[in-house]
Amino acid sequence: MTDEKDQDAWAQSRGHRLPNLMEVLTRRTTSPVDLYMFYLFVQRERNEDVLDFYLDVQHHENLCRAYFKDLRKSGRSLKDDWPQFWEYARRRGSIYGTVIDASMKRSPGSFGDDDEKWGKPRDDHLGGSTSPYGPRPSTSMAGHGEKEGERSRSGTPFSLSGRSALGISLGHKRASRAPTIIPRSKAITRLDLVASAERIFFRYLSPPPPGQDSHEIYLPPTLRIHSFPLSSTALPKPDSPDYEAEMNALAQIPDMFHAQQEYCFRAMEQDVFPRFLRAKAYGNLTSVSASVRLVVGLLILWAGLSAAFSLIFLDVHPKSKRFFLFIPFTLATLFLVSHQYALDPILIFFNQSETTPFRTTPLRDPYVKKMLRVRAIWVMVLILAIDAALTLMFWAVPGHRL
């Protein structure tokens, strides 16, 4: 219930605009433009692997944040506990700058002194990039503090932005109480981070074993990760000949998929998300339901026209009986216009939108609800106008018995 109240508050504070993708992914929106509806839409388009990858990377990043918080609570220094990552983050930057800052005392030259370098946006970037669906949050994909050409040791570019993961606050308030705190019975270890990264790599970034379904996503050549040299069973051992290379690879685990995640975000923002908004903010029917309405509408229209021509050519009296033709004409027009606009005005007046074919959910987003009601009124006016024109036309035609 608290989460629903938070989502309603975010929807109210958004004002008179549609949500952007970051707001949907961080669960700051309500139906019919929430994360659940977005996932169903992406799933129907058979493109859910990209969204699954994005959400799994967010969970991986939350797991890393939990590790740094456990480290802080233990009183250990990051520099002493994980010197390779400390050096990697000091030289190249990390998305966990603000989290790690809280785990250690600031001192000259320590991690976190340079806010701009470690992810804090500069004042001239606070506006972020904009979207036709509203401004993007200032800590989102805009690449605040990002340096063009930064590369990891494996050749994969890593961003220096401080974008929050799913359920982490954007701005000054928590977006959701979802996976900010990772449920666990013991402290997070580096092996847990390796296991999380290993699962993501073998599920989304490498070809599947023979006989298994592929979930591999497309990435441009500069973002592909071709190998995963670590094992989730044990950390690198000092007596190993590849110890230094493996420890350097381990230092990249927290930031390993961030650039790939940003690429997937931009791909969804430019492709599937605008279509999702058109489907859910301007209509309330699924494609299957709209197609069924087309078939039913054509059948009812055929029946209505057959009855109309029968009344004319049989010269049935009294002529007022033809007014009953408004029943099939109204139903046929309702189904056909609903198919054309992917919008059922009757469902809108009952405050409902389809999730899957013939299953509905209440409309909660105030701005989308207002838009749909205005469109529903326009659709009803159009339906009544077409229905009146057909009924009066067949009433006015003089009868002629064949």
For 334-370, the DSSP string reads HHHHHHHHT--HHHHHTTEEEEETTEEEE---HHHHH
Provide the residue count of the chain: 402
What's the mean pLDDT in 283-289? Answer: 95
Gap between the Cα atoms of 357 and 285, Å rounded: 8
Give the model's pLDDT for residue 171: 34
Q: What is the pTM of this model?
A: 0.76
Does the pLDDT at position 349 exceed 50?
Answer: yes
Give the model's pLDDT for residue 191: 93
Give the model's pLDDT for residue 211: 85
Gap between the Cα atoms of 289 and 211, Å rounded: 34
252 vs 27, 101, 120, 257, 315, CA distance in Å?
28, 18, 20, 9, 85
Mean pLDDT score of the chain = 80
The confidence band for 350, taking pLDDT boundaries of 50, 70 and 90, is: very high
Six-digit token string for 59: 């969970």
Q: Is 153 helix (H, G, I), strand (E, B) or coil?
A: coil
Q: Which long-range contacts (CB under 8 A, 24 or more apart) does 286-293 make?
A: 286/44, 286/354, 286/355, 286/356, 286/357, 287/44, 287/342, 288/357, 289/354, 289/357, 289/358, 290/338, 290/339, 290/342, 291/339, 292/357, 293/335, 293/336, 293/338, 293/339, 293/344
